[in-house]
């Protein structure tokens, strides 16, 4: 597809890209492999401020000299580089790679290789841009080295080991991103504590509200509507700070509120079960025993 043909796929202000080969032609770069591309901004013809979307994952650096708030940068975050992640179908700014390489790869690299077993771990591709990864200089050099290794492998002649080795280098890069994100969560402990306090507040309001059918799925939907974080980021933050996924955290909070009502209210067990949105009293008993180690009536009698 020539440059003119690529431009004809533009819808409004967004350019639709079907393949990595089309993207490479658009920016004037040779396609070395149909499933993965290392974008080198120093030798490409980039269209300024033109967003594209396509069936590929993207991982690239952003310069965040102004508009730091957009990327959620905090005063205690590292300042050497901001790494942004995009899932297939989301918008990617074509001019978002100033000075450093970026990686674009097709979903088949995650679905049809050994990376399929780890795909669920790479939740950061579902984060929002203000949940980007802020790197130290050492972390930044590690990322650049991994990208460089992928590039070197792609520049070799393709043989039966090419895809395997490229996938290994990509896995190493993504695992480093997991490590660096975990570090960022830890260095933001105070901020994360405030987030959990806000989460607790919304859960208490929800479970003690007059809404009926407070099911697990509805409570999760309610929280996602209230909290500013993306679902993937909030789940990971909750897991790292509390040791529980968001779903598990909500279940424990539900039982904590039940404990409070058992001791502070004169309501019947069936009344408490109804207030907390359980479909029936046996379901309430089952979850309470599972998480508290005793039945609701045993808990009330003991205290």
> What is the layout of strands, in order, in the sheet containing 51-54?
10-11, 14-17, 51-54, 92-93
CATH topology of domain 3-187: Jelly Rolls (2.60.120)
Higher pLDDT, 128 or 210: 128
CATH number of 190-302: 1.10.10.60
Across the chain, mean pLDDT equals 85
Looking at residue 148, its pLDDT comes to: 93
Domain ranges of the chain: 3-187, 190-302
**pLDDT tens figures, 2-53:** 444 444 355 556 788 888 898 888 888 889 999 999 987 666 555 445 678 8
Looking at residue 132, its pLDDT comes to: 92
* Confidence band, pLDDT 50/70/90 cuts, at residue 1: very low
Percent of the chain with pLDDT over 90: 50
Q: What are phi and psi of 289, to 5 degrees?
A: -65, -40
Q: How far apart (Å, rounded) are the C-alpha atoms in residues 44 and 21? A: 14
**pLDDT tens figures, 185-242:** 999 888 888 999 999 999 988 888 776 667 778 889 999 999 999 999 999 999 999 9
Q: How far apart (Å, rounded) are the C-alpha atoms in residues 272 and 254? A: 11
Q: How far apart (Å, rounded) are the C-alpha atoms in residues 191 and 103? A: 30
Is pLDDT of 147 > 60? yes
Per-residue tokens: 62? 């952003």
> Poorest-confidence range of 17-26, 58-67, 138-147, 276-285?
58-67
């Amino acid at each position: 597809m020539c440059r003119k043909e690529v431009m004809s796929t533009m819808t409004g202000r967004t350019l639709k890209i079907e393949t990595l080969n089309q993207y490479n032609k658009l920016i004037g770069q040779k396609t070395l492999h149909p499933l993965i591309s290392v974008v080198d901004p120093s030798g490409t013809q980039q269209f300024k401020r033109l967003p594209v979307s396509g069936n590929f994952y993207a991982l690239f650096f952003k310069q965040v000299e102004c508009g730091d708030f957009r990327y959620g940068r905090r005063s205690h975050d590292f300042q050497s580089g901001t790494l942004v992640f995009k899932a297939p179908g989301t918008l990617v700014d074509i001019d978002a790679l100033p000075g450093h390489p970026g990686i674009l790869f097709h979903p088949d690299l995650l679905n049809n290789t050994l990376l399929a077993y780890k795909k669920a771990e790479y939740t950061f591709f579902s984060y929002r841009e203000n949940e980007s990864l802020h790197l130290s200089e050492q972390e930044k050099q590690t990322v650049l080295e991994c990208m460089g290794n992928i590039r070197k492998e792609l520049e070799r002649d393709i043989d039966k080991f090419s895809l395997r080795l490229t996938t290994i280098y990509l896995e190493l890069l993504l695992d480093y991103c997991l490590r660096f994100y975990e570090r960022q969560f830890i260095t933001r402990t105070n901020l994360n504590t405030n987030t959990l306090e806000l989460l607790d507040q919304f859960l208490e309001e929800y479970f003690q509200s007059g809404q009926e059918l407070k099911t697990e799925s509805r409570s999760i939907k309610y929280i996602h509507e209230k909290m500013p974080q993306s679902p993937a980021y909030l789940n990971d933050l909750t897991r790292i700070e509390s040791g529980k996924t968001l779903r598990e955290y909500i279940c424990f909070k539900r039982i904590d509120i039940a404990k409070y009502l058992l001791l502070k209210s004169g309501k019947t067990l069936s009344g408490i079960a109804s207030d907390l949105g359980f479909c029936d009293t046996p379901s309430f008993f089952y979850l309470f025993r599972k998480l508290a180690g005793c039945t609701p009536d045993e808990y009330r009698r003991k205290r």
